[in-house]
Structure 1
Amino acid sequence: MKKILFLLLLFSISTFAQRPDSRENTSKITLTGKVIETSTKQPLEYATLVLTHVKTKRVLGGVTDLQGNFSIEAPKGVYDMKVEFIGFKTKPLPQKNLAENTNLGTIALSEDAEKLDEVEIIAEKSTVEIRLDKKIYNVGKDMTLKGGNASDVLDNVPSVNVDAEGAVSLRGNENVRILIDGKPSALVGLSGTDALRNLPADAIEKVEVITSPSARYDAEGTAGILNIILRKGKITGFNGSVNTTIGHPEQYAIGTNLNFRTKKINLFSNLGYRYRKGPGNSESFFTNFENGIIDNYRKEDRIFDRKSNNYNASIGLEYYLNQKSSITGTFFYRKSEDDDVATNYTEFFDANRTLTGNQTRIENEKEDGTDTQYSINYTNNIDDKGQKLTVDLQYSDSKQNEPALITVDGDLSEQNSQITNSTSKLLQLDYVLPIGKNSQLELGHKADLQDLHSDFKVRDGNGDPFDRDLSNAIDFRQDIYAFYAQFGSKINKFSYLFGLRSEITEIDLYLINEDLFNEKNYTKWFPTINFGYELNDNDNFTLGYAKRLRRPRHWFLNPFESRSSATNVFRGNPDLNPTYTSSYDLGYNTRISKFNLGASLYYQYSTDVIQRVSILEERNINGIETDVTVSQPLNLNDEQRYGFEFTSNFNPSKKVRLSASFNYFKFKTDAFTYVYTAPDGQQVTTPLNEVNESSWFARFNSRITLPAKIEWQTRVMYRGPQDDAQSSRKGMFITNLAFSKDLFKDKATLVLNVSDLFNTRKRENTTYLYEDNGDLKSINDGIFQWRERQISLNFTYRFNQKKKQERPNSGGGDGNGEEFSG
C-alpha cells in the first residue's frame, strides 16, 4: 500500500510513503543520526531520511525531531539513502548494507537558493500527529477559517467545542487551560473569550490537544490543555504574505506576515487591523410561581449591536549566538476599541398574561484596552546528543477602561465605569538530559506572578452613589511557583514517561471598599504517567494518567455584582476552593490503507467542582416587585465524568478528502443544597438535584476539488442536548461552507467563506429554580445568539513564496524521535 502524508509546520515539510508490511517476519535494525544546516550548524527539524530497498524497491523512512535527530526501524537489507529538506539540496548517501543497528552520524545540508521560492506557507491539508501525551492538529489549508479568529480554529479541532458565548470546552468540560506557544500570554489578556475572538486564524500554525499532560505543563485545567502555536518564519531571505478580508455583517481586515532571515538572524513580524460589527440577540421568557401556582410572567428581548476596532502587532528577532545557541526577543502589542450597545426590552405580565408594565433598558459600554508583552528566550543545544537548556522570561501588561451609560425608558439611570490593570511576570527554566540511546530526563522550574487591580464605580444618573453602594475595588495577587521532573524511555516498541510536578500557590484578595482580606495558600503534588506501545507500523496504543486542578479566577472571587442587567446579575464568591481532578485516558490509533482511525476512552473524577448556581431574589425595580436571577459560582459535590471519542480521516483520491469525529460523555454529580443570606437578611434556600446525564457531539468535514481547480469545503457540527443541576439545553446544529481558488500562478488565493450557513448557532436552554420545600419557583426559557451568520471574502497574496502543490515521494515512517515530547 502506498500513502503520501504531507506534513508541513510553517516552512518545513516532510513526506511519508509506503511502509513495510507489518505481517512480514523480517528482522529489523535501527538507523540513527542527526541532520544539521551546513552554515549555522543548527539542527533541522522535520528533515526527511528516505530509504529505498535495492531489490524490492520498497520506500520507507522518517523525519527528524526538534534536535535534528532521527531513529528509524527498517528490515535488514541493502538500501539507497538520501536526506531531503525543503529549501535545501537533497543529499544522497552511499549505498549501505544494513545488517545491524547503525549510526549515520551528523549529516549537513546546504540551502538551495533555486528552491527557496517553492515553499508552501500553509499546508495542503490538515494533519494529525500523535505523541505520547498529546495530539497535534495542524491547521493547514482550512478554508472555513479564512477571515476567522482563534475561536473558530478551536471550534474546528476534534474534542473541542466553542459555545455561542465563546466558552471553550474540551470533551464537554469547560475547565480547559489555553496557552500560546506553551506559555500564558497577553494574547489571552484579561478576558480570554474576547481575546480569542481578536486573534486572527491566519496567525495560527497548529493546536496541541493535551488530554493527559506531562509534568512539564502547568497543572491548571482539569479538562486538559489547548496549546496554540503561532506561525514563525524560518526561510532564508525576505518573504511574506498580505491578506485582506471583507464581510457581511460589516467586516474589514488587513494583515501582513513578514519574515527576513540570514545566517545569523531571523526577523519575523505579524501586523494586522480589523473592524467588525457583531450583531447578536437573546430572548428570555420567565414564568414565576408562588406556592406552586403561576404568579406572573416576564419577557426580555435583548439586541446586541457591537462595533470593534482591533490593532495587533508582533515583532521578533532570533539571533544565533553560535552553532548551538540562540536568543530570541519578541514584542507583542494589541489595541482594542469597542463600542457595544445592548438594548433590553422587558414586558411584565400578570398570571392571566395581561400586560402590567414594560421597560426599555439600554447599556452603551465602550471599551479601551491595551495589551503588551515582552519575552526573551534563550536556547542552548549543549551537545549533539540532545542535551538542551532553555530559559524563558516574559512580562505582560494589560489595561482596560470600560465606561458605561445605562438609560431606562429614555432617562439616564446609571453611570458606571471599570478600570482594570494587570501585570504578569514569568520565569521558566527547562533542561533536557539524554541518558543512553533511548532515555531522557527533564527538569524544570516556573514562576508565574500576577498582580491585578480593578476599580468598579456605580453611580446614578446624577453621578451620586446609590443608597446601597454597588461600587467596589479589589487588589488581587496570585503567585505560582512550580518544580517538575520527568523521565522517559523507549524499550523496543514500548515507551513510557513518568513525571512529578509540585505547585506552590499563594492567593491574596483584598476588598478595598469593605477593608476585607482573604488569603489562600496551598502546595500540591501532581503526578503524571504516560505509556505508549507500537503494535506494528500502523497501530499504536497510549495510556495516560494526570492529576489536575482548577483555580478560581479573580472574577469568580469578587463578591460584588455586575450591572449589565437589572434582573440578571452575577457575583463572585471569595470562599471558592480549587477543584482537583484525576484523569485517565486510553487511546488507540491505526492506519488502514487510506483510512486513519483513532479512538479514546477517558474517565475523570473531580472534587469540589466549581459550577454557577442561580437563585431568585425579590427586588424593587422602578416600583415593581421583581424576581431577580442572581448567579454565583459554588463548590459543589464530587463529579464523575467518562466517555469515548472516535476520529477518522479518509482520502479516497487526491480530489476528495473526508474526516469525521464523534464524542460521547456521561457525568454524575451528587445532590446539593445551597443556603444564601440576601442583603435584606432573608435566607434563600436553593436545592440542586442529583445530575446523572450524558451528551455527545459530532463533526464531519469534506474537501472536494471541483473543475477549474476550485476547492469546496463543507464542515458540519452537531452538539447534542445536555442537562445539569438547574437547566436543560437543547442540541445545536452548525454548518460552514467555503470555496477557494488559486490565482496568479498560485501566488494568491481567493476564499469565499460562509460561517453558520443556516444561522442556527444558538444556545437554547430552560432553567428551573425550586424552593426549599420542592415547589417550583421559576422557569426561564432562553435563546442566545452571540454572532449571526457571517459571509466573508478573503484574498491572500504571497511574495517570494510559491504555493507548491506536491513533493516527490519521500518515504514514510514514524521515526519522529519525539516519544517523550512534552
Structure 2
Amino acid sequence: MKSTAIQSIAIILFFLGLSSSSYAQNNGRINGRLKDARTLESLQSATVVVLDKKTNAVLKEALSDTNGAFTLDNLPDGLLLFKVGYVGYKTFVKDSLIISAGNRTINLGDIKMNASESSMLKEVAITATGSNEQIGITKKKFLVEQSLVSKGGTATDLLQNIPTIIVDGGGKVNLRGSANVHVLIDGKPSLIAGGDITQILQSLPASSIESIEVITNPSAKYDAEGDSGIINIILKKNKRLGFNGSVNGSAGTRGNYNGGLNLSFENSKVNVYTNYDFQRSDTWSNGRQVIQFLNPEGPVVYSDETFPSVTINKIHNVKAGVDYFINPKTQLSFSGGFNSNRLNKDETLSINQSAADHSVIQTINSKNLTDSKGTTYNLNIDFVKTFNKPKEELTVSIGYAHGTGNSVQSFDSNTRNIGANQPDELVTGVLRPLSDNSNSYYNIQTDYVLPIGTGNLDVGYRSQIRTDNRNQLVYNLNNTTGNYDEYYTLSNLFYSKDQIHALYVNYQNQINNFSYQIGLRGEDAILKGNVKGYDTTAVPYTLPVKVINTRLYPSVTLIQKLGGDQQLQFNYARRVTRPSPRNYSPIPDISDPVNYDVGNPNILPQDIHAFEFGYSRNWSKVNLTSSLYYRITNDFIQHLETGPVNGIITTISENIPHAYTGGLEIIGRFRFIKGWDFTLNTNLYENKTDAAPVYGIAKSSGFSWNVNLTNNFLITKNISLQLRGDYQAANVIAQDSNHAIYGIDAGTKISILKNKAFITINGRDILNTRKWSFTRTSNDVLLDFERRTIRARASVSLTYNFGKDIFKAKKIEHSTEHQEN
C-alpha cells in the first residue's frame, strides 16, 4: 500500500516535471488588434494563425473578438510566421517573429487591414474555408460571395440563408420574432415597387449584392425605425486598381435566368464603376384559404378558396458612380441607379361557398390578370473629409429618388347560385382596377466625428422627405349596356407627405477593459395627406390624414471585456415602427371578391423599448455569440379580420395596446476538422399581446423557436460544397397562429481557368417542403390559409473575372511586413 502511494506520487511528480518543462518552452504570447485601414472599425472573427517558420506547421489558431483583439498563448520558442485572413481583405503577413527566453510576449498593436483588390479573397492556405461572417452581439455583417445556395437567386433567397433572419412563404422578412424590421439599400430606403419590401427584395439579383449588415440594437447614429433592428443591403461597388470587370450568368428551372456585367477603373485620382443586371423570374404559386363565418349574415357559413397563379417578372438594374480623390484626405463621390420592372400575373380563383351542413350554395370562378410596370431612379452625392487628427471625420450625403408605376388589372368572375331555395343562375361580373402611382424621396445627412481625449464624440443631422401619390380607379362592366362604368365605392385618390427630421449626439470611450457608448437621437416625424373617394351613394368626400410623432430616442451600450477572449455587453435603445403604405393607404385590394385588404389612415406608429444582454467568447476553433433580448411595444400594429358585410370580410391594420417579445439567440461558428466548418444559429422566443376586445382579440401568448445550420466543405482546392437547412416552429401573434416551416438548400462551386471563373450549381428547397400557412381567429371569422411559392428549384451559374492591375500600389517599406491578395 505504502509502495503504491510512493509510486503514484513519483508518477505525478514526473508528469508535473514534464509539464513544467513544457510550459517553460511553450509560454510565448502574441497579441494585437485588427482594424479596417480606412474606417478604423474593429474586425471581428478574423482568422489569426501562427506557423513554424521552418516546417510551416500550424502552431496556434484563433479568431479576433468583437473589439478586433486576439491573443495566441502557449507558443513555443523559435522563429515564427504570423498570418491574418479575412474575407474581403488582403491577407496580412508578418514573418520572422522570435519567441525566446528574453522575449516571451510580442504585442503587434493595431494591425490595419486593407480591402482586397478583388471581390474574391483567396482562401488562407492554413484554414479549411474562409469565413464570410463578421458576427458581433448587436452588429453582424455577412459577405455573400460564398453563399453558394443563393447563386442565381434574388435578395429574398439570400436573406433566407443569413443567420438570425427568417423569410416566410409570403416573402416577409422576420428578425427575432418580428416582421417590423427596417430594410435599407446602401443605407437608404428604396422606392422600387413603391417601397414594398417584399417586391424590392425580389427585384434585386443576389449577384448584385456585396454584403448584408444586420444591426439588432442600433445606436443613436442610426435611424430609429424598426423594432427588431436594421437590415442594410450593400450593393457591389467593384473597386480594383486599373481596369477590371466580371460577367455572370445563371439559368434555372421553370424559365428563370439572369445575367450581369460589372466594370470598374481606378487610378490614384479617380474610381469609375458601373454594374448592370437583368433578371427574368417565373414564379408558380398554389394556395388555399378556408373561411368560416362564426356569425353569418345569411346561409353562407363556409368559403373554400383555391388560387393557383403564375407570375413572370422582368427586371433591369443599373448602378454607376465616380469617386474622385481630391487629395489623400478628401473624397467626392457621385452615384446613381436605375430600376425597371415589368410584372404579369395570371391567377385562377375558385370559391365554393356552402351552408352549415357543407352543402354548396354558390360557386365563384374568377380569372384575375395583372399587368404592371414601373421605373425608379436615384442620384447621390457623398463627400468625405478626414483630418490630421486620427479618427476625426466629416461626411455629407445628399440623395434623391423618384419612382413611378402603373397597373391594369382585370377580375372576370362567373357566379353561380345553387340550391333548392334559390334559382340556379349564372351571373357574370368584370372589374377593371386601374392604378397609377408615383413617389419621391429626398435625403440630406451630415455626420461629424471628433476625438476627445481617449473617446469619440459623434454628432449629426438628417432630413428625409417622402411624397406618395396612389390613385386607383375601378370600372365595372354594365351587363345591360356592355360599357364599363366607374365603380365609385372602390375608387380612391390618396396623397401623402412624410417628413422626418433628426439630430443625434453619440459619445463613446474606453476605460481599461470597460467601454461605453451613450447616445440621444431626436426625431420630428410628420405624416400629412388626404384621401379623396366616394361614399356608397357616389357622393365625393375628402378625408384629411395627419400623424405627428416627435420623440427622443436614447441608446446605451456597455461592454466589459473579460479574460479568456470573452466579453459581456448590455444594450438599450428606444425604437419606432412607422406605418407602411399598406398599413395606412385606404386604397383596397379587391382581387379576392370575398376578402378585401385595406389600410387604415388613422393607424399610429409603434413605440418600442428594446433591451439586450449579450455574451461572446472565442476559442481557437469556436466562436460563440449569445444574446438575451426583450422588447416592449406600445401601439402594436396588426392585420385584423373584420366581420362580413354583404358577404365580404375586410383585412385592416389596427393598433393593439401592448405587445411583448423576449428571447435567447445563440450563434456559433465551428471549425473542428480541416476542410469543414459550420455555423449554427438558434433563436428561442415568446410573443405576448394584450387583449383588444373591440376587435374581438383575446390576450395571447406563444412560445416559438427557429434554427438554421450552414455547412461549408472544401472538397479539393478548386471545389467547395455548401449544405444548409432551416426550421421555423409554429408561433402565435395576436389573431394569427403561424404554422411550422422548414427546408433544405444545397450548392457547389467549381473554380476553373486559374481561379478566374467559377461554376456554381445549386438547388433551393430541394425537398419541396417550404410553405406559408397560418390560422387567423376573431369573434366573427375563422380563417385557414396556406400558400406554396416555387421559383427556380435548381440553377447553374457562371462568373468570369477579367482585367489586371495597371497601376501598382506603393509597397510597405518594412520587408518583414506585407499584405497580399
> How does the TM-score come out when normalised to structure 1?
0.82
The residue that corresponds to 1:404 in the other structure is 409
Deviations 1:25-78 (A, max 9, x none): 999998899968xxxxx999979999999999988999999xxx9988899999
Alignment equivalent of 1:730, drawn from 731, 739, 744: 739
> What is the DSSP-based 3-state SS (H/G/I as helix, E as strand, rest coil) of the residue aligned with 1:223?
coil
Between 293-302 and 192-201, the greater mean CA deviation after superposition: 293-302
Structure 1 match to 2:460: 444
C-alpha distance in 2 between matches for 1:240 and 1:122: 21
Partner of 2:421: none
Q: Is the Cα contact below 8 Å between 2:505 and 2:521 reproduced in 1?
A: yes
1:181 maps to 2:191: no
Please identify, of 136-145 and 635-644, the stretch whose mean Cα deviation from structure 2 is larger.
136-145
Q: Which amino acid aligns with 1:642?
A: G
Matches within 5 A, 1:738-777: 738-770=747-779, 777=780
- Match in the other structure for 1:283: 288
Which of 205, 224, 235 is the equivalent residue of 1:230? 235
Counterpart in the other structure of 1:815: none
The answer to whether the Cα contact below 8 Å between 1:33 and 1:104 also exists between their aligned partners in 2 is no
For 1:409-420, list aligned pairs within 5 A: 409=414, 413-420=430-437
Determine the structure 2 residue equivalent to 1:120. 121
In the alignment, the residues of structure 1 paired with residue 92 and residue 686 of structure 2 have an alpha-carbon distance, to the nearest angstrom, of: 53
The aligned residue for residue 635 of structure 2 is: 608
- CA distance in 1: counterparts of 2:598 and 2:546, whole angstroms: 19
1:506 is paired with a residue whose SS is strand
Superposed counterparts of 1:329-368, under 5 Å: 329-368=334-373
> 5+ unaligned residues in a row in structure 2: which ranges?
1-22, 415-426, 534-540, 806-821
Structure 1 residue runs of 5 or longer lacking an equivalent are 1-20, 37-41, 620-625, 675-685, 771-776, 803-822
The answer as to 2:461 corresponding to 1:460 is no
Matches within 5 A, 1:630-709: 630-674=650-694, 686-706=695-715, 709=718
Residues 74, 646 of structure 1: alpha-carbon distance in 2 compared, 3 angstrom cutoff: closer
Give the deviation of 1:299 after TM superposition: 1.5
Amino acid at match of 1:120: L
Structure of larger gyration radius: 2
Offset, 1:94: 11
Query: Hey, what does 2:721 align to over in structure 1?
Result: 712
The answer on 1:171 being equivalent to 2:187 is no
Compute the displacement of 1:210 (Å). 1.1
Output one character per residue of 1:414-451: Cα deviation in whole Å (capped at 9) or x when no partner: 11111110000000001011122x31110000000111
Letter paired with 1:637? P
Note the alpha carbon deviations across 1:326-363, whole angstroms, 9 max, x for none. 01111100000111112101122233333333221111
2:452 pairs, out of 435, 459, 479, with: 435
Report whether the alignment pairs 1:780 with 2:783.
yes
CA positional deviation for 1:801: 7.2
Number of residue equivalences: 743
**Is the 1:29–1:98 contact (alpha carbons within 8 Å) kept by the matching residues of 2?**
no
CA distance in structure 1 between the aligned counterparts of 2:740 and 2:573, rounded to whole angstroms: 31
Q: Distance in 1 between matches of 2:122 and 2:155?
A: 19
Partner of 1:809: none
Deviation of 1:469 after TM superposition, in Å, equals 2.3
User: Counterpart amino acid of 2:758?
Assistant: T
SS at match of 2:189: coil
Query: What is residue 161 of structure 2 aligned with on the other side?
Result: 156
Residue identity opposite 1:516 in structure 2: L
Q: 1:292 to 1:720 in 2, by over 3 A?
A: farther
Relative to structure 1, the CA distance from residue 635 to residue 232 in structure 2 (aligned partners, 3 Å threshold; closer, same or farther) is: same
Following superposition, the deviation at residue 515 of structure 1 comes to 1.9
Matched to 1:618, the amino acid is V
Is 1:532 matched with 2:569?
A: no
Q: Secondary structure of the residue that 2:201 maps to in structure 1?
A: helix
**In structure 2, what is the Cα distance between the partners aligned to 1:657 and 1:91?**
26
1:126–1:142 CA contact under 8 A, matched in 2: no
Q: Specify the SS of the correspondent of 2:696.
A: strand
State the TM-score, normalizing by the size of structure 2: 0.82
Deviates more, 1:117-126 or 1:77-86: 77-86
> Could you tell me whether the CA contact under 8 Å between 2:337 and 2:377 is conserved in 1?
yes
2:498 partner amino acid? Q
Deviation at 1:95, TM superposition (A): 9.0
CA–CA distance in structure 2, aligned partners of residues 709 and 101 of structure 1: 36
Percent of matched pairs sharing the same residue: 25
| Aligned-partner SS, 1:547 | strand
Amino acid in structure 2 at the alignment position of 1:780: L
Structure 1 residue aligned with 2:616:
589
Give CA-to-partner distance per residue, 1:568-591, whole Å, 9 cap, x none. 111111111111010001111222
Of 297, 303, 315, the residue aligned with 1:298 is 303
**SS at the partner of 1:469?**
helix
Verify the 8 A CA contact 2:138 2:216 in the aligned structure 1: yes
Cα distance in 2 for residues equivalent to 1:708 and 1:392 = 43
Cross-structure match for 1:816:
none
1:511 aligns with 2:531: yes
2:728 and 2:36 map into 1 onto residues whose CA distance is: 46
Using a 3 Å threshold, how does the CA distance of structure 1 residues 350 and 87 change in structure 2: closer, same or farther? closer
User: Which 10-residue stretch deviates more, 90-99 or 781-790?
Assistant: 90-99
Give 1:120 shift.
2.7
The residue correspondences of 1:479-490 to structure 2 (distance < 5 A) are 479-490=499-510
- Measure how far apart 1:99 and its partner are: 11
* Contact 2:529 2:546 (8 Å CA) reproduced: yes
Could you tell me whether the CA contact under 8 Å between 1:33 and 1:71 is conserved in 2? no
- For 2:289, give the aligned amino acid: S
Shift of 1:567: 0.8
Note if contact 1:175-1:221 (Cα within 8 Å) is conserved in structure 2. Answer: yes
Counterparts of residues 31-46 of structure 1 (less than 5 Å): none
Q: Which moved more, 1:486-495 or 1:718-727?
A: 718-727
Q: 1:746 to 1:453 in 2, by over 3 A?
A: same
Write the distance in 1 (CA, Å) between the matches of 2:670 and 2:247.
32
Aligned partners of 1:529, 1:733: CA distance in 2, in Å? 36
| Maintained 8 Å contact 1:544/1:584 | yes
Rounded to whole Å, the distance in 2 between the matches of 1:781 and 1:283 is 8
Instruction: Say whether the 8 Å CA contact 1:119–1:801 is kept in structure 2.
Output: no
The offset of 1:659, in angstroms, is: 1.9
